[in-house]
Structure 1
Amino acid sequence: MTITSAARARRAAKALIAVSVVGAVSLMGAAPAQASDWGGDGDSAGCASPITVATTAITGSRGKLAGKTIGELQLRWSWSCHGNWSRVVLYGGMYSTPVTVEQIVESEGRRAGSTDHNLRTGSGGTSAWTRYLRLANSQSRACAQAWLSSDFDTLNYHTNGARVCA
């Protein structure tokens, strides 16, 4: 079968369109990070002189990250807000795929939480946090819990988590 020059031109045009679409989609990149917060008394970014009162490692569970510390969960406190909140610090340079971070802080029968989608760690890492809970008693026990979900550069989407109390 002989392919005419008109048929070759049509095939070339289709191939060019396909390459253009793939190129445009790859330039769009991943969706930007999005967050949703609930509960609590305010944005912890406005709490002066915060301290970390408890911390625990978040450990990878599969592939090249199995058994490696990929971040940490922190329970934070500030006297200026008289409150606790949760912060997750993700270490950079370990994987390239986006992460969803869900976390909750609870104390005195109340809770605050956040969900951050499409976080990228890059080479320098990143962090995410909840709103703060104002406490009636600064000695009240507080707990924070976090879940990190991603494929972490493996073949399967999975979740790693941690919990800390003080």
Structure 2
Amino acid sequence: MEYYGRLNFKTIYIAGLALFPIAGVKTKNVMNFSQNKCNFTKEGRALIHDNLKGIDYNILKYIMENPIRSETIEYNDNRISLYVGQKGKCSITGELLQINNMESHHIITRELGGKDEYKNLIFITLDIHKLIHAVTEKTVQKYINKVKKFINKQNLIKLNRLRKLVGNCELYIN
């Protein structure tokens, strides 16, 4: 019953197994699905590669070949997807990510029940990550000075939203 929800049909059991009527099976149409994208045709591969334009393949290869050993498979798979989904840019500043200047951040921390799901992760630069978690005034000021040139009003709103989610106060930058 948990897979089919509430049916208006009587469930029949044979040898202890539930048989569900075909009428109880529900489907959904997949939205924005293109049958043209296909790994097996030249045109399909071209469409897939068009989506990856602007991404540094060396960084993508680095992420794929260097998983974080202490993390889950889901987390490491989602890091790859995030890099591609964010087009190789920091989610806050829009800067191009570099191998030694990028980290994935849990939007809702694990301590507060956050998971390793794609929707709960973002890629950001190292300095932005430090600024999200910074608590002392000295540390906050140090990282504000480092990222000030990349922060505008809209980016500050995103940054403050993430700071509030980890339990830190909002920042005000002149």
Q: What is the TM-score when the length of structure 1 is the normalising length? A: 0.22
> Which protein, 1 or 2, shows the higher relative CO under an 8 Å CA cutoff with sep ≥ 6?
1
Task: Specify which structure has the higher proportion of strand.
Answer: 1
Please identify which structure carries the higher helix content: 2
